């Protein structure tokens, strides 16, 4: 049996013929940037997340970067302020901080959740700390009671990196409304993905929303009038149309992922493999990735490949060990993050994975002998 990691063509085909019809209508309209498709999607995604404002932008990195930039423009952050961020994240999270001349303070994850360990927040905090940037890694909500209490006691901003967690629900609220602002990516492989690059910011803060909207459109609220030295980062009409067709299916797609994760968690029984925790609050995890761990990862990966099962590693090199950041990030040792990077392996999980395929992956994993 051949099991690709993520057959995007097949996943998007589930949305036909509506997808092609809506894209064709957008093409035929003759209006491709900042039009009614963008407004429609922004409204429905804001409603979905439970916030009043959504601003489409070019990609997830820009969404994160524009949030920090807007807080700088508003005078709420200033250059050199410290932002607490998990060390085991995708590099985009850290780039958004450093590109704004803010200082990332890398914190280890809790091994059981892969997410920022709230017990380490206090030690990571200094007089310069102004924000926490939790990443809902692999689709699991990273916000906790302790994190929110800590942030409110110290008056820290909470900015969510929700690029992997579209639709996750924590304490009755969606990812995207758990802090001051949230960044989403609609990169094709995300739980809600478009047909190219795309992203969005969600927030309850009207002033922040207006600054972000202007910053992503050359710093302009009004055509040819520029209040900021902005950038060009917009979600185009064809991507917005695509996302409007796919958003109504997101909860159902996430539920399929959850059922697969439940089967993996119950049925993979091999003492050589460490499985991710299935959270008690089931909807707090949308299983963007199902990440197992093994201290014989390369052998496991080769074995799975021979059996036709494609896997990926998220992520093989943490940001602080990348050449891009060599000598540029101070930290006092990140052994948990570095060890995880050696052991993690993502196995297929997506809405078109069949029951037979899931059974096959389980059977093959159970037969693995290192
Ligand atoms: C995908 C991703 C991003 C960046 O999104 P792009 O749209 O690729 O720029 C940021 N953070 C995390 C955690 C991601 O997974």
Domains within the chain, CATH numbers bracketed: 8-107+115-247 (3.40.640.10), 249-366 (3.90.1150.10)
pLDDT of residue 137: 98
Establish whether residue 185 lines the binding site of ligand 1, counting it when its CB lies within 6 angstroms of any ligand atom: yes
Question: How do strand 173-174 and strand 169-170 relate by DSSP bridges?
Answer: antiparallel
| 308 pLDDT above the threshold of 90 | yes
Gap from CA of 345 to ligand 1 centroid (Å): 18
Work out whether the CA dihedral 223, 227, 228, 234 comes out positive or negative. negative
> What value does the mean pLDDT of the chain take?
97
* CA nearest ligand 1 atom 6, residue: 60
How confident is the model over 310-365, as pLDDT tens digits? 999 999 999 999 999 999 999 989 999 999 999 999 999 999 999 999 999 999 99
Ligand 1 atom at shortest distance from the alpha carbon of 63: 9
Establish whether residue 187 lines the binding site of ligand 1, counting it when its CB lies within 6 angstroms of any ligand atom: yes
Bridge partner list, 136: none
Bridge partner list, 86: 107
Q: Output the six-digit token pair for 293.
A: 């761990």
CA angle (236, 91, 121) in 5-degree steps:
115
Mean pLDDT of 131-139: 98
Establish whether residue 88 lines the binding site of ligand 1, counting it when its CB lies within 6 angstroms of any ligand atom: no
Work out whether the CA dihedral 22, 27, 28, 31 comes out positive or negative. positive
- Cis bond leading into 315, ω under 30°? yes
Establish whether residue 57 lines the binding site of ligand 1, counting it when its CB lies within 6 angstroms of any ligand atom: no
Alpha-helix residue ranges (DSSP H) falling in 74-107: 91-98
Gap from CA of 183 to ligand 1 centroid (Å): 9
Contact present, 250 and 176 (Cβ < 8 Å): no
Exposed, middle or buried, 156 (CB in 10 Å: 0-12/13-18/19+)?
buried
Establish whether residue 156 lines the binding site of ligand 1, counting it when its CB lies within 6 angstroms of any ligand atom: no
Within 8 A by CB and 6+ apart from 130, the residues are 76, 77, 81, 82, 83, 156, 157
Please, which pLDDT band fits residue 78 given cuts at 50, 70 and 90? very high
pLDDT of residue 216: 98
pLDDT of residue 19: 98
Gap from CA of 93 to ligand 1 centroid (Å): 7
Question: How do strand 157-161 and strand 129-132 relate by DSSP bridges?
Answer: parallel
Mean pLDDT of 9-18: 98
By C-alpha distance, which of 212, 180, 218 is closest to 199?
212
Ligand 1 atom at shortest distance from the alpha carbon of 137: 13
Q: Output the six-digit token pair for 65.
A: 């970067």
Nearest-angstrom CA–CA distance, 36 and 241: 9
pLDDT of residue 96: 98
Please, which pLDDT band fits residue 90 given cuts at 50, 70 and 90? very high
Please, which pLDDT band fits residue 177 given cuts at 50, 70 and 90? very high
Strands (E), 168-270: 169-170, 173-174, 181-185, 199-203, 220-222, 225-226
At 195, give phi and psi (nearest 5°). Answer: -110, 35
Establish whether residue 89 lines the binding site of ligand 1, counting it when its CB lies within 6 angstroms of any ligand atom: yes
pLDDT of residue 332: 87
Establish whether residue 163 lines the binding site of ligand 1, counting it when its CB lies within 6 angstroms of any ligand atom: yes
- Cis bond leading into 163, ω under 30°? no
Please, which pLDDT band fits residue 3 given cuts at 50, 70 and 90? very high
Gap from CA of 190 to ligand 1 centroid (Å): 9
Mutate which of 65, 90, 137, 159 to test ligand 1's pocket (most atoms within 8 Å of Cβ)? 90
CA angle (66, 137, 290) in 5-degree steps:
140
Mean pLDDT of 43-60: 98
Establish whether residue 239 lines the binding site of ligand 1, counting it when its CB lies within 6 angstroms of any ligand atom: no
Share of the chain above pLDDT 70, in %: 100
* CA nearest ligand 1 atom 4, residue: 60
How confident is the model over 241-298, as pLDDT tens digits? 999 999 999 999 999 999 999 999 999 999 999 999 999 999 999 999 999 999 999 9
Bridge partner list, 199: 57, 185
Gap from CA of 60 to ligand 1 centroid (Å): 5
Establish whether residue 59 lines the binding site of ligand 1, counting it when its CB lies within 6 angstroms of any ligand atom: yes
Establish whether residue 164 lines the binding site of ligand 1, counting it when its CB lies within 6 angstroms of any ligand atom: yes
Gap from CA of 163 to ligand 1 centroid (Å): 5
Tokens 């697969």 belong to residue: 260
Gap from CA of 238 to ligand 1 centroid (Å): 20
Contact present, 368 and 273 (Cβ < 8 Å): yes
* CA nearest ligand 1 atom 14, residue: 163
Question: How do strand 181-185 and strand 199-203 relate by DSSP bridges?
Answer: antiparallel
Tokens 């950041």 belong to residue: 325
Nearest-angstrom CA–CA distance, 86 and 311: 24
Does the pTM surpass 0.95? The reply is yes
């Amino acid at each position: 049996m051949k099991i690709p990691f993520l057959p995007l063509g097949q996943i998007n085909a589930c949305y036909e013929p509506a997808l092609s019809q809506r894209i064709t209508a957008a093409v035929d309209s003759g209006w491709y940037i900042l039009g009614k498709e963008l407004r429609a999607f922004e409204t429905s995604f804001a409603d979905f997340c439970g916030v009043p404002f959504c601003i489409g932008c070019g990609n997830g990195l820009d969404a994160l970067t524009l949030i920090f930039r807007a807080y700088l423009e508003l005078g709420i952050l200033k250059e050199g302020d410290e932002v607490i961020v998990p060390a085991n994240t995708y590099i985009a999270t850290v780039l958004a901080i450093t590109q704004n001349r803010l200082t990332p303070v890398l914190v280890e994850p809790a091994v059981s959740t892969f997410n920022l360990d709230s017990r380490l927040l206090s030690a990571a905090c200094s007089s310069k700390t102004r924000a926490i940037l939790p990443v809902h890694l692999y689709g699991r909500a990273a916000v906790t009671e302790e994190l929110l209490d800590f942030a409110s006691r110290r008056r820290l901003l909470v900015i969510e990196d929700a690029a992997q967690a579209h639709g996750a629900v924590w304490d009755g609220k969606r990812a995207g409304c758990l802090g001051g602002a949230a960044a989403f990516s609609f990169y094709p492989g995300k739980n809600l993905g478009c047909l190219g690059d795309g992203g969005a910011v969600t927030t309850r803060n009207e002033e922040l929303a207006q600054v972000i909207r202007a910053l992503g459109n050359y710093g302009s609220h009004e055509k040819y009038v520029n209040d900021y030295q902005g950038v060009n980062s917009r979600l185009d009409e064809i991507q917005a149309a695509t996302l409007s067709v796919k958003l109504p299916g997101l909860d159902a797609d996430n539920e399929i992922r959850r059922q697969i994760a439940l089967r993996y968690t119950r049925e993979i029984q091999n003492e050589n493999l460490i499985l991710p925790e299935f959270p008690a609050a089931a909807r707090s995890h949308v299983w963007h990735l199902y990440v197992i761990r093994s201290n014989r990862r390369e052998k496991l990966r080769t074995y799975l490949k021979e059996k036709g099962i494609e896997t990926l590693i998220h992520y093989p090199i943490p940001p602080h060990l990348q050449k891009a950041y060599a000598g540029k990030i101070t930290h006092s040792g990140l052994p948990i993050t570095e060890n995880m990077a050696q052991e993690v392996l993502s196995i297929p999980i997506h809405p078109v994975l069949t029951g037979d395929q899931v059974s096959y992956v389980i059977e093959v994993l159970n037969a693995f002998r290192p």
